[in-house]
């Protein structure tokens, strides 16, 4: 577990007001950078912008890896500011942060190269050890990926090499298991949500299964016969291939509406000869699936 470092009470309010102002009035380069970093788009790594760290405000920071990313305007090249930036960098380094800097021009001219540099730096940082002995039971928490992968710009978005750009990614979330379940799909080329269903009482595996079938049915309806469907669930992909949702969820009055949907999904699979590739999203290589609900 990592903590959100922040300033003491004496100057926090002033810093917060300054940070809020810059959130609402970003430079062009900062806006471009945030479009690529927000919502865990960089392979599941969460960034914060205009984040207060003790007596400083970081343009962007990943607190898990303690990586600060600064986007510098022209005034950072002036003599006095160079000295201030050096002192600030040394202070943050003493607190365990790694700092990388880019100019506005670098971000605007070549965002893909900038993002590749950030990705490489993230891979080189060993995350701080947890201060708790409790081991997470979630198999989908942020993991140290084996090696940095190059990014490719597709439709204004950055995707890992090897990811099919003409694709939808699906994912489900469940509060408890069973519990309120929902699922969604995201277009990898645009980053836009394609569909969303729920919440409805069920399990995460059922949601993953239904999300894939929903995506297949929508592709069939729209004539998108070659679009790839990504899911990070082996079980769900296997169930779809076998055309059967092999859940152990008890069928009762509470779950009957969901079972009716499951039966319709199974019937659709048995009566439609779809050809869309259904591929496993490789979380360890590419980060969280883009349709992830971000609740971990």
Dist CA 263 CA 275 (whole Å): 21
Residue 2 has a pLDDT of: 41
Q: For residue 77, what are the CA distances in angstroms to 44, 72, 83, 103?
A: 33, 8, 10, 10
Q: Which residue ranges in the chain fall short of pLDDT 50?
A: 1-8, 76, 130-156
Superfamily of domain covering 162-286: Ribonuclease H-like superfamily/Ribonuclease H (3.30.420.10)
Superfamily of domain covering 9-124: VSR Endonuclease (3.40.960.10)
Dist CA 180 CA 3 (whole Å): 29
Beta carbons within 8 Å of 108's beta carbon, 6+ residues apart? 28, 29, 32
Task: Indicate if 162-286 has the same CATH topology as 9-124.
Answer: no
Instruction: Domain ranges for the chain, please list them.
Output: 9-124, 162-286
Q: What tokens does 64 get? A: 């898990």
Residue 158 has a pLDDT of: 54
Residue 132 has a pLDDT of: 41
Residue 215 has a pLDDT of: 96
**pTM to 2 decimal places:** 0.52
Residue 137 has a pLDDT of: 38
Dist CA 151 CA 158 (whole Å): 6
């Amino acid at each position: 577990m990592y903590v959100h470092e922040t300033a003491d009470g004496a100057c926090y309010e002033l810093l917060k007001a300054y940070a809020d102002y810059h959130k609402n009035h970003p430079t062009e380069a900062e806006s471009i950078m945030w479009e690529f970093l927000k919502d865990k788009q960089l392979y599941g790594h969460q960034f914060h912008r205009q984040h207060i760290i003790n007596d400083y405000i970081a343009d962007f920071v990943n607190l898990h890896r303690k990586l600060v990313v600064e986007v510098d305007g022209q005034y950072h090249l002036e003599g006095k500011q160079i000295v201030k930036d050096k002192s600030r960098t040394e202070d943050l380094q003493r607190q365990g942060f790694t700092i990388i800097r880019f100019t506005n021009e670098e971000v605007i001219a070549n965002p893909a190269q900038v993002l590749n540099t950030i990705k490489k730096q993230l891979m080189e940082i060993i995350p701080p050890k947890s201060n708790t002995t409790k081991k997470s039971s979630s198999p989908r928490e942020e993991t140290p990926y084996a090696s940095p992968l190059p990014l490719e710009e597709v439709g204004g978005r950055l995707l890992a090499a090897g990811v099919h750009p003409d694709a939808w990614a699906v994912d489900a979330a469940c509060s408890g298991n069973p519990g309120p379940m929902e699922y969604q799909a995201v277009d990898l080329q645009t980053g836009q949500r394609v569909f969303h269903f729920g919440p409805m009482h069920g399990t995460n595996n059922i949601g993953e299964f239904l999300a894939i079938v929903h995506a297949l049915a929508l592709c069939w309806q729209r004539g998108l016969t070659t679009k790839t469907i990504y899911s990070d669930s082996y079980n769900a992909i296997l169930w779809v291939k076998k055309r059967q949702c092999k859940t152990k969820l008890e069928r009762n009055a509470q779950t009957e509406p969901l079972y009716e949907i499951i039966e319709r999904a199974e019937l659709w699979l048995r009566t439609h000869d779809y050809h869309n590739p259904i591929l496993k999203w490789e979380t360890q290589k590419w980060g969280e699936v883009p349709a992830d609900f971000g609740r971990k």
